[in-house]
Amino acid sequence: MSSSDAPAHGPLRSFGRIKSRALKPRQAALFDTLLPTIAVPDPAAGPIDPQALMPGAAQVWLEIGFGGGEHLAEQASRHPDALMIGCEPFLNGVGSALRHIEERGLKNVRLHADDGRDVMAALPDASLDRVMILFPDPWQKARHNKRRLLQDETAAEIVRLLKPGGRLRFVTDWKDYADWALERLERTPGLAWIAERADDWREAPADHVVTRYEEKKLGDTPPIFLEFVRT
């Protein structure tokens, strides 16, 4: 690993590019107008209180790596009484999410346009009802596996953040990443895999939202759905 790959502190970056093309004018404008009003406070400034982000929220969900924001916006629309915290370092994805939020008039979404692990570290114990990790960067090459978002440390942090009975959903369309994630999640104290039969990981949960990314079928397997509960 070169010195440029080794940060002075914190985990290795688990995502690739942060921007691919110029933002569309409307999306760029939303970075200046909408994002400041719904941005999660800077995690480096201190602890983040979810109830301060949305007083009276019945639940708090965290989506790490929301892509284009389609899933995040749809879940927020279905659950207007729940606070949806979404994290995504890819700026074009953030721009897309801002458009969805504006078009739907959503008031229960808060965004962090950077690494979701920073927000996780700033959230209090047992503060989340659900954590969603959908189609994270697979880092297929063995020498890059250390960059995968799902590590033992991430799994332990999820346990810390979930309320008893809270749920984790991990979805990938790469077989190796599914095996990797399952191995780490099953050995993490405080998490229990709820699958009872093969269809439980082969078939999408009833509340799953299919996104444009999923429809592209870029992986080497149909989506694998891993659902865990905080014991």
Residue list for the binding site: 63, 88, 115, 137, 141, 173, 211-214
* CA–CA gap between residue 1 and residue 12 (Å, rounded): 11
Burial code (b: 16+ CB inside 10 Å, e: under 16) for 155-186 equals bebbbbbbeeebbbbbbbbbebbbebbbebbe
Calculate the CA dihedral of residues 224, 138, 208, 121 and round it to 10 degrees. Answer: 120
| 207: DSSP letter | T
The DSSP-derived string for 61-128 is: EEEE--TTSHHHHHHHHH-TTEEEEEE---HHHHHHHHHHHHHHT-SSEEEESS-HHHHHHHSPTT-E
The closest alpha carbon to 228, from 182, 171, 169, belongs to 169
Q: Is 137 a catalytic residue?
A: yes
The CA radius of gyration of the chain, in Å to the nearest whole number, is 17
Which amino acid does the sequence have at 160?
R
The annotated binding site for substrate is made up of 141, 173, 211-214
* CA–CA gap between residue 219 and residue 109 (Å, rounded): 29
Spot the catalytic one: 114, 118, 129, 137. 137
The annotated binding site for S-adenosyl-L-methionine is made up of 63, 88, 115, 137
Q: Is 175 helix (H, G, I), strand (E, B) or coil?
A: helix
Active site residues: 137
